[in-house]
């Protein structure tokens, strides 16, 4: 079997999302009996290097010259096309994780777009694998989903997680906190944010967390998630956590609308125009009318073995 090289970057500035989903796939590939090497290529900060090494994977700073045909899995929003071409010309296989359909190259051996209803906006080719059936979730999230599926009913909404993301340039998190404080009494708010500014609460308590190594531990402690429109809404849905999204970009908003149409998230609008009064109205609407519908939709839509399915497709490319 071929060796597998994951090409991505991860730091506090770039974020850890691309590395996390690549690690999920790498862990799954490593379960298959083989003599393959799994290695990561890119720029990684100290924390990322520790994560990679602790899972038993190597790290390279650049694409190596290899005699053996290998499989390269690319996961980055900004990659020069020449990099793909060079790898292909060296005789290797090219797999691309492309959740915005921007790398639809005819020479790619595999193109993965795991977004919900991806077939609606992708120029599909035989190389494509589309939809939630190929989303890469961590083993820990799968364990949490399994645990929650065994519960007879969803948890009461007592603890809210607010996680807008690394770049909350419109200060959405503080607006969401204020909206929740107007709506509820006696709840706990967990704010995951790089900012450590003090926020006054009148009716509820708040805990500000600057960094979390294992999101599954945090998801297990909360009952509802308000996120920034990225991959967190997928992870929340997979873990059967009711969730709302304040999307940071127009592309994220289109994805949010698609998920919301199937009751897999609730759309709170675009970050650049959202106001506290609007958030109060929409969050109340969601909790009064949509939470139970969403809970049932999340149980039906997500696939427990989607990471395994994706790993198998990548391994097929190597043969």
87, burial (CB in 10 Å: exposed 0-12, middle 13-18, buried 19+): buried
Measure the CA–CA gap between 232 and 256, rounded to whole angstroms.
11
**Antiparallel, parallel or unpaired: β 224-227 and 71-74:** unpaired
What's the Cα-to-Cα distance from 4 to each of 62, 221, 232, 298, rounded to whole Å? 14, 35, 27, 32
Cα separation of 239 and 145, whole Å? 5
- The pLDDT profile of the chain, 319 residues, written as one tens digit per residue, is 689 999 999 987 778 889 999 999 999 999 998 878 999 999 999 999 999 999 999 999 999 988 889 999 999 999 999 999 999 999 999 999 999 999 999 999 999 999 999 999 999 999 999 999 999 999 999 999 999 999 978 889 999 999 997 678 888 999 999 999 999 999 999 999 877 667 889 999 999 998 888 899 999 999 999 999 999 999 999 999 999 999 999 999 999 999 999 999 999 999 999 999 999 999 999 999 999 999 999 999 999 999 999 999 999 999 8
Structure tokens at 7: 């090409």
Q: Within 10 A of 127 (CB to CB), how many other CB atoms are there? A: 18
- Rounded CA separation 3/315 (Å): 10
Please give the Cα distance from 264 to 141 (Å, whole number): 17
Query: What pLDDT sits at residue 36?
Result: 86
* Rounded distance between C-alpha atoms, residue 169 and residue 165, angstroms: 10
Q: Which of 143, 114, 90 is nearest to 18 (CA)?
A: 114
Nearest to 149 by CA among 308, 31, 301: 301
**Domains of the chain, CATH where assigned:** 4-135+305-318 (3.40.50), 139-301 (3.40.50.2000)
Quote the tokens at residue 151: 């519960």
Regarding beta strands 243-247 and 224-227, do their DSSP bridges make them parallel or antiparallel, or are they unpaired? parallel
Q: How far apart are the first and last CA of the chain?
A: 7
């Amino acid at each position: 079997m071929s060796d597998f090289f994951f090409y991505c970057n991860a730091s506090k500035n770039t974020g850890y999302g691309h590395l996390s989903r690549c690690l999920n796939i790498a862990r799954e590939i490593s379960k298959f009996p083989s003599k393959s090497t799994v290695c990561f290529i890119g720029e990684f900060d100290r924390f990322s290097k520790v994560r990679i090494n602790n899972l038993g994977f190597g790290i390279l700073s650049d694409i190596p010259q290899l005699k053996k045909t290998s499989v390269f899995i690319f996961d980055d929003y900004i990659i020069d096309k020449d990099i793909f071409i060079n790898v292909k010309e060296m005789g290797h296989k090219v797999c691309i994780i492309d959740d915005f359909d921007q790398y639809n190259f005819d020479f790619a051996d595999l193109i993965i777009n795991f977004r919900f209803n991806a077939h609606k906006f992708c120029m599909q080719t035989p190389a494509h694998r589309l939809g939630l059936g190929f989303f890469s979730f961590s083993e820990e999230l799968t364990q949490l989903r399994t645990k929650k599926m065994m519960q007879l009913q969803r948890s009461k909404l007592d603890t809210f997680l607010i996680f807008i993301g690394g770049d909350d340039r419109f200060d959405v998190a503080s607006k969401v906190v204020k909206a929740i404080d107007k709506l509820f009494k006696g709840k706990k708010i967990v704010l995951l944010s790089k900012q450590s500014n003090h926020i006054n609460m009148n009716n509820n308590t708040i805990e500000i967390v600057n960094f979390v190594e294992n999101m599954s531990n945090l998801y297990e402690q909360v009952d509802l998630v308000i996120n920034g429109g990225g991959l967190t809404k997928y992870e929340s849905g997979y873990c059967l956590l009711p969730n709302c999204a304040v999307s940071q970009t127009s592309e994220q908003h289109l994805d949010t609308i698609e998920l919301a149409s199937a009751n897999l998230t609730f759309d709170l609008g675009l970050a650049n125009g959202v106001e506290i009064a609007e958030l109060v109205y929409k969050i109340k609407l969601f909790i009064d009318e949509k939470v139970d519908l969403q809970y049932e939709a999340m149980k039906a839509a997500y696939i427990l073995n989607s990471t395994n399915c994706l790993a198998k497709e990548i391994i097929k490319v190597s043969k």
